[in-house]
Amino acid sequence: MADRIADIWGARTPHGADSPWPVRVDQYLAEGVPEGEVQWVPSACVLCSNGCGMDIAVHSGQIVGVRGRASDRVSHGRLGPKGLFGWQANNSPDRLTEPLVRRDGELRPASWDEAMGLVVERSRQVLDEHGPLAMGFYNSGQLFLEDYYTLSLLVRAGIGTPHLDGNTRLCTATADFALKETFGTDGDPGSLRDFDLCDTIFAVGHNIAETQTVLWARILDRLHGPDRPRLVVVDPRRTAVAREADVHLPIRNGTNLALLNGIQHELIANDRVDRAFVDAHTVGFDQLAAIVADYPPERVAEICGVPAEDIRAAARILGSADRLVSTCLQGVYQSHQATASACQVNNINLLRGMIGEPGRTVFQMNGQPTAQNTRETGANGDMTALRNWQNPDHVADLARIWNVDPLQIPTWAPPTHVMQIFRHAETGSIRFLWIVGTNPAVSLPELHRIRSILAQENLFVVVSDAFLNETGHLADVVLPAAVWGEKTGTFTNHDRTVHLSVKAVDPPGQARPDMDIFLDYATRMELKDKDGAPLIPWRTPEECFEAFKRVTAGRPCDYSGLSYEKLRGSPGIQWPCNENAPEGTERLYADHQFNTDTDYCEDYGHDLATGAAHERNDHAALRTNGRAILKSTHYLPPHEAPSEEFPLLYTTGRTVYHWHTRTKSRRAPQLNAAAPEMWVELAAGDAERLGVREGDLVRVESARGAIEARAHVSGVREGVVFAPFHYGYWDLPDGGATDGDPTENGATGDGPGGNGRRRAANELTVTEWDPVSHQPLFKVAAVRVEKVADGGGVPSPAPTTTTARPVSGDAPGTSGGDGVRETVEEAREETR
Ligand SMILES: Nc1nc2c(c(=O)[nH]1)N[C@H]1C(S)=C(S)[C@@H](COP(=O)(O)OP(=O)(O)OC[C@H]3O[C@@H](n4cnc5c(=O)[nH]c(N)nc54)[C@H](O)[C@@H]3O)O[C@H]1N2
Ligand SMILES: Nc1nc2c(c(=O)[nH]1)N[C@H]1C(S)=C(S)[C@@H](COP(=O)(O)OP(=O)(O)OC[C@H]3O[C@@H](n4cnc5c(=O)[nH]c(N)nc54)[C@H](O)[C@@H]3O)O[C@H]1N2
Ligand code: SF4
Ligand SMILES: [Mo]
């Protein structure tokens, strides 16, 4: 039995590029469960975008464990710590089991009829008095495709408001936009198998080891195998990924674009460009070359704070790669110039002519398990099935399928991004806000502002969730949602692999699937199509999936060849899947024809510097003719640079053991025990200057607020402070105990009603966003740090297994995941 809290990635099964990734089946069952009596229900993990295929163990009507599916194309049987232990949250006694309605200032139990009656009454009132622009909907990257598609149709064609967005705006909006800018439409072109086949990996702002642990296990098996790929890592922290790198560039946060321009400078200056490919399959080279000419390594070294020689070394590795896989994630996306930077990662692969072929691709990674579906269904700012909201033919086509007047679908203005939705709520123009499967009171920037918006008298807030989280505490109505394992539906990971997750158990109490709640709302609102029939014609997830197949037919994300039957327990099938590709499609753009045709593309593109949206004519003038677009622009410094008052750079992110605002992971005992409490990371030099030792209590302050936490002296870059964003705030407006309740964490002893100490990373972050993708900036701000109290030499509660490995080295190791069985099997022939 393995301790998979201590050993995050499990046993190595090394292999070379010429052999398939071996199978290792990871299984965790609750203690005492009679294995022979367990029923296995096919599903996939929903605790990150890797989407590992897994089976759910059911006994006596309860989920009692999980195991990886050996045949799964994504995981080959493996699961990471969250996958192995996270399911326990489903069984938590804290689950919401009945609707709650605010009466006399307090949330009180109510019947579904009462709660939905109130939601509908307020919707009608707001619509009558203020029109559809006063209605807002903010959803998730963690529901199922069927939930999103129902919501998308309901809001776009039924309510008719442009104010619909997903928390994917905080997460993968930049991935989405970078793919659209370069390749014409959303959808990562590559296959996870490309990691098995490549000879070089370029990871930018992506802590794969902690955030996609099974993918990292896959990469480790190559790094520790016979023909080790080379690895270049860009991250201000010495992550477990960086520790494996051939070249690690610990740049100042906020300087990605300068670095990426510099690397392209080197590729061009040293003639490492595949000119034949670039000429035949791209547009925009001359402009790119002119811009990056201004970024010689010495200048870049100064901006980024890394040696020029290391930049050259990185460029040499990328420039001599034969099979290059590049990836980026939040270190790129949650910054200013996010889309601009992400596009440069696309450019590097294009300059090298490495796309659409085995071992040659770029991953604009997702984070949340079902973020891809939020985008495909249009439950974020996109138009359903990667249509272009600026293209009247696309709108007309969608209106025809939905049987509504095209004018009913709001396309007169760009879809509203969530930061703007909250701004409208702040000014009072949005009066009704339904928040589904996300916890903005912890996950949006500048929390004191978000709390005050949600608490506003003239804003009616509805929250659908499985738990009463910080946001629920500020709601007028709370609806109990069924989650993964308790409903049937599909979702799609970052290499376009679709899985079916089959309902394994009943939801607790009166909790209901989100799709059912939306259908109930649509019925009560009497939403109709243009012939007076119910707007949403389906009643079951499978009927919804069939409808989604029709709306995607002929679009890049073509689901028309899929079915629940085909997907049940399958290895996972990658879209497009249709008549021509009945088993799915492993790689997009294998013919080097990109989706950039003006009539077909999802977006006419933007000016990367200003975010100005191009129009049809601008796009047509590029004469792309199926070629990819090399977009480029100059580096600009972040607005909030360190100053005398706030001399340090601030950045935030994740630890392997927690999922976001911890509504699930803190209810899995092994995960919670591994990272029970907030900490902040300081570099050794900074700590010394500040007179701070490991475990001391420090105060971190920005222009917007302050937090207090134990200091952890780690391998973060000098001048940079890192905070995990998982921990909610301490003192609640109503003094109640919530997900942010510190009393159970114990360690420092304050609780609600205590000294009001705040600990949430987002108290400090800025209200600002990338001009193209509108993704907020969680990775750049300026702060100061001071010591508040001596820790008495007791180490901080940071886990010691990963990035947060202490520099002093004598802290006890994080452990406590005993009972996991790992079964290594012989390598199987590849399922693709
Ligand atoms: N354990 C765990 N796994 C998760 C999640 C989770 O909550 N917990 N969430 C999932 C989701 S939704 C997402 S979006 C992904 C996120 O996955 P990642 O993007 O890998 O995670 P982060 O920790 O947010 O940020 C990645 C790295 O960016 C670095 N960084 C910070 N600033 C900069 C910068 O300016 N430039 C560069 N190059 N790097 C910088 C940070 O040091 C950090 O190591 O993880 C997914 N997987
Ligand atoms: N400072 C800082 N802030 C960040 C980030 C960062 O790196 N730094 N990362 C950003 C990113 S990438 C992300 S993705 C966001 C995540 O931020 P959130 O989305 O706010 O985080 P979660 O805790 O995952 O919230 C999801 C909620 O949905 C509920 N839920 C789960 N399943 C279901 C379901 O099936 N139905 C319903 N109705 N509810 C469900 C959960 O109980 C939980 O309350 O945070 C963003 N905020
Ligand atoms: S890598 Fe992601 S999808 Fe796979 S088991 Fe871990 S959390 Fe789940
Ligand atoms: Mo995310």
- Comparing CA positions, the residue from 93, 33, 281, 40 lying closest to residue 667 is 93
DSSP H stretches of helix in 184-307: 194-197, 208-211, 213-223, 240-243, 256-269, 275-281, 285-292, 297-304
Residue located nearest, by CA, to atom 36 of ligand 2:
437
Q: How far apart are CA 23 and CA 823, in angstroms?
A: 8
233 plus 274 within the same structural domain: yes
Residue range 400-406: mean pLDDT, rounded: 97
Helical pair 145-153 and 541-552, crossing angle rounded to 10 deg: 70
Q: Are residues 262 and 336 in the same domain?
A: yes
| Residue 640 located in a structural domain | no
Residue-wise pLDDT for 9-47, tens only, equals: 999 999 999 999 999 999 999 999 999 999 999 999 999
Q: Which ligand neighbours the alpha carbon of 443 most closely?
A: 2
Q: Count CA atoms within 13 Å of residue 632 on its CB side.
A: 25
**How many other CB atoms sit within 10 Å of the CB of residue 744?**
10
Pairing of strands 573-574, 497-501: antiparallel
Task: Pull the structure tokens for residue 139.
Answer: 């959803």
Domain count, the chain: 4
Tens-digit pLDDT profile for residues 557-589: 999 999 999 999 999 999 999 999 999 999 999
Cα of 113 vs centre of ligand 4, distance in Å, is 34
What CATH number corresponds to the domain at position 755? 2.40.40.20
The ligand 3 atom nearest the CA atom of 75: 4
How far apart are alpha carbons 60 and 505 in whole angstroms? 9
Q: Which domain holds residue 600?
A: 189-364+595-629
730 has pLDDT over 70: no
Is 249 in contact with 310 (CB distance < 8 Å)? yes
Domain presence at residue 414: yes
Identify the pLDDT of residue 806: 66
Candidates 496, 615, 498, 421; CA nearest to 179 is 496
> Which of 654, 663, 682 most suits a substitution to test ligand 1, by most atoms within 8 Å of the C-beta?
654
Question: What mean pLDDT is reported for the chain?
Answer: 94
The pLDDT, as a whole number, for residue 612 is 97
Give the ligand with the smallest distance to the CA of 254.
1
Measured in angstroms, how far is the CA atom of residue 151 from the centroid of ligand 4? 20
* Residue 73 sits in the same domain as residue 128: no
pLDDT of residue 831 exceeding 90:
no
Does residue 257 lie within any of the structural domains?
Answer: yes
DSSP labels, 89-116:
GGG-TTS--S-EEEETTEEEE--HHHHH
**399 alpha-carbon distance from chain centroid:** 30
pLDDT surpasses 70 at 735 = no
CATH number of the domain that residue 47 is part of: 2.20.25.90
Same domain, 534 and 670: no
Residue 129 located in a structural domain: yes
Banded pLDDT at 737 (limits 50, 70, 90): very low
Residue 260 covered by a domain: yes
Q: Please report the pLDDT score of residue 758 as a whole number.
A: 81
**Would the CB of 652 count as within 6 Å of ligand 2?**
yes
The pLDDT confidence band at residue 828, using thresholds 50, 70 and 90, is: low
- At which residue do the structure tokens 């209200």 appear? 767
Tell me the ligand closest to 86's alpha carbon. Answer: 3
Asked whether the beta carbons of 28 and 233 are under 8 A apart, the reply is no
Provide the pLDDT for residue 733.
Answer: 41
CA distance 422 to 778: 17
CATH label of the domain that carries residue 423? 3.40.50.740
Is the CB of 514 within 6 Å of ligand 2?
yes
Same domain, yes or no: 419 and 320:
no
| Residues 532 and 412 both lie in one domain | yes
pLDDT of residue 482: 98
What is the best residue among 4, 54, 69, 82 to mutate for testing ligand 3's pocket, by most ligand atoms within 8 Å of CB?
Answer: 82
Tell me the average pLDDT across 478-496.
98
Query: What is the residue with the minimal CA distance to atom 35 of ligand 2?
Result: 483
Letter string b/e over residues 404-427, b meaning 16 or more CB atoms within 10 A of that residue's CB: beeebbbbeeebbbbbbbbbbbee
- Tell me the β-bridge partners of 650: 721, 781
The closest alpha carbon to 85, from 23, 142, 20, 2, belongs to 2
Same domain, 106 and 85: no
- Domain assignment present for 288: yes
Q: Residue 832: its pLDDT value, please?
A: 53
The DSSP symbol for 429 reads S
pLDDT band at 414 (very low <50, low <70, confident <90, very high): confident
Protein residues whose CB sits closer than 6 Å to any atom of ligand 1: 48, 82, 171, 204-207, 210-212, 234-237, 239, 251, 253-254, 256, 329-331, 335, 367-368, 651, 653-654, 656, 658-660, 779
Residues 255 and 146 reside in one and the same domain: no
CATH of the domain at 218: 3.40.228.10
How many angstroms separate the CA atoms of 401 and 590, rounded?
30
User: Average of pLDDT values for 148-152?
Assistant: 98
Query: CA 145, CA 148: separation in Å to the nearest integer?
Result: 5
Q: Is 205 contained in some domain?
A: yes
Q: What is the pLDDT of residues 277-315, one digit of tens each?
A: 999 999 999 999 999 999 999 999 999 999 999 999 999
Residues lining ion ligand 4 (Cβ < 5 A) are: 171, 367-368
Q: Tokens standing for 47? A: 């605790």
In the chain, the percentage of residues whose pLDDT exceeds 70 is: 95
Average pLDDT over residues 432-436: 98
Q: What is the mean pLDDT of residues 495-510?
A: 98
Question: What pLDDT digit, counting tens, does each position of 770-819 carry?
Answer: 999 999 999 999 999 999 999 999 999 999 988 767 666 566 788 888 89
Answer whether residue 188 shows pLDDT above 90: yes
User: Do 340 and 422 fall into the same domain?
Assistant: no
State whether 545 and 673 are in the same domain: no
pLDDT per residue over 221-258, tens digit each? 999 999 999 999 999 999 999 999 999 999 999 999 99
The answer, yes or no, to whether residue 746 has pLDDT greater than 70, is no
What's the chain's Rg over C-alpha atoms?
A: 25
211 and 354 co-located in one domain: yes
Q: Is residue 590 part of a domain?
A: no
First and final CA of the chain: distance in angstroms? 30
Does the pLDDT value for residue 744 go beyond 80? no
80 and 208 share one domain: no
| Residues 582-641 pLDDT 10s | 999 999 999 999 999 999 999 999 999 999 999 999 999 999 999 999 999 999 999 999
- The pLDDT value given to residue 830: 58
Instruction: Identify the residue whose C-alpha is closest to ligand 1 atom 11.
Output: 367
| Side-chain half-sphere CA neighbours of 695 within 13 A | 10
Q: For ligand 3, say whether the CB of 82 is within 6 Å of any of its atoms.
A: yes
| Amino acid code (one letter) for 461 | V
Q: Looking at ligand 3, which residue's alpha carbon is closest to its atom 7? A: 47
CB 786 within 8 A of CB 698: yes
